[in-house]
Structure 1
Amino acid sequence: MGHLTGGPYYDLIGRTGNNVGRRRKGKNVFSMRPAKSNKPPSALQLAQRNRFGLVTSWLSRIGDLIDAGFLVHPEEESDMNAAVSYHLKNAVTGVSPNFTMDYPKVMFSRGKVGEAYRAEVNITVAARLDYVWLAGTPTKYNKPTDMATVMVYCPALDKFVTLQNAAARSALLFNLLLPGNFSGEEVHAYIGFTSADGKVAGSSVYVGEFLVL
């Protein structure tokens, strides 16, 4: 059941009959309820649903990174929708119904801030990834005060480890501690930078796949 947030001519939120109202990016959106189809879905439709379900469920678990990182998109599009659109087009691999994320193409942020220059991960201690990078040439969008965000995903455990504002670009390194059960597992590592005030993000980079000690 829908409800009016003000008087009879104000916002309609929810569904009333065939009318659907919602707020999107600060605007009132009003539409008709879509008709149900009695036709069974085609193989292509099922594949599209599988791809969409994979991407949305995967990205929803790193929503805080997406909200802070996918800031460059049309005004009417949300941060998450922009991320979903990118990953559907670029970061899904496999054959239906066995789709998986194409990990080297995954991005948790996109934008103008300089990428992590020559980023690497060294592994010398159990359950820890040691990120290192170079400062690069200082520019308007490459400042020593830019802050790093790191993300690690373990497919076998289906678990993420993420940390925003992990270290300043000028630090040139950051040691990320992982849960003990990550030891002996393969993980995918990523890093990206945002401006110190968090208003401008940069494109995250895939550092590689690593075996955790």
Structure 2
Amino acid sequence: MGIQHWGAFGGFQGKAGALVGHWTNGQNVITAIPHPSQNPPTVPQLNVRAKFRTVIGFSRRLTSLIRVGYQNAHKEKQSAFNAAFVDNYANAVTGIAPNYLIDYPNFAYSKGQLSNGYNAEVVTAIADTVQFTWLGTLATGIGGPTDMATLVVYNPVKDQLVTLVGAAARSALTYSMLVPGDFSGDDVHCWISFVSANGKVTSDSFYVGEFTVV
């Protein structure tokens, strides 16, 4: 049953006959109830679906980071997550169809004008620890010592993400991030990004590299 919230000539939410009303990006949208095609999908269609699932499957696990990281990088009627999806669908998928994989060096969860961690590096000399380091240089000229680092570590063997928002101020120049003990011996992918102290300005996420946890 569709419920009309905005008067006789307004939109509605829910199902009404052959129509469905829903609220999307500040607008009430009314669409027909979708009917599944009776034709089997073509190979190109299956490949598109496989690529879509690959990007969505990885991105959705970073939804909270993407909402912040892409807050200023999406169009008026587009969500932050959708903007990140478009970028990663175009730039961060590798492999031969339909066996797609995420291209980690090109994956982005943040996009903005704030300076990133200049010359960011990772050291894994201590057990169960991924140590991030960076310089205080402002490559884009935007930012300050109170900007906060967001750190991401992904272990593809365990299919496990470890994230830390507000790990350290830019001025700290380093942060030692603890990871699960069973990461020992596994290769992990690492990213870093920065958010202004008021949470309103973000940097691009930066892929630091692939490292082996000791």
TM-score range, shorter chain: over 0.9
Matched, 1:125 2:135: no
Q: What's the counterpart of residue 104 of structure 1?
A: 105
Deviations 1:78-130 (A, max 9, x none): 01100111110000011122111000001110011011100000111111100
Q: Offset of 1:8 from its aligned partner? A: 5.1
TM-score, length-scaled by structure 1:
0.94
SS in 2 for 1:131: strand
Q: What's the counterpart of residue 184 of structure 1?
A: 185
Q: Offset of 1:57 from its aligned partner? A: 1.7
Q: What's the counterpart of residue 70 of structure 2?
A: 70
Q: What's the counterpart of residue 209 of structure 1?
A: 210
Unaligned segments of structure 1, at least 5 residues: none
Matched, 1:90 2:91: yes
Matched, 1:57 2:57: yes
8 A contact 1:191–1:205 mirrored in 2 = yes
| Cα distance change on mapping 1:63 and 1:137 into 2, 3 Å | closer
SS in 2 for 1:41: coil
8 A contact 2:115–2:141 mirrored in 1 = no
8 A contact 1:128–1:178 mirrored in 2 = yes
Alignment partners' CA distance in 2, 1:93 and 1:139: 30
Q: What's the counterpart of residue 150 of structure 1?
A: 151
SS in 1 for 2:44: helix
8 A contact 2:116–2:138 mirrored in 1 = no
Count of matched residue pairs = 213
Q: Offset of 1:140 from its aligned partner? A: 5.6
- Pick which of 45-54 and 33-42 moved more: 33-42
Unaligned segments of structure 2, at least 5 residues: none
Give the % identical residues: 43
Name the aligned partner's letter for residue 158 of structure 2. Answer: L
Q: Offset of 1:54 from its aligned partner? A: 1.3
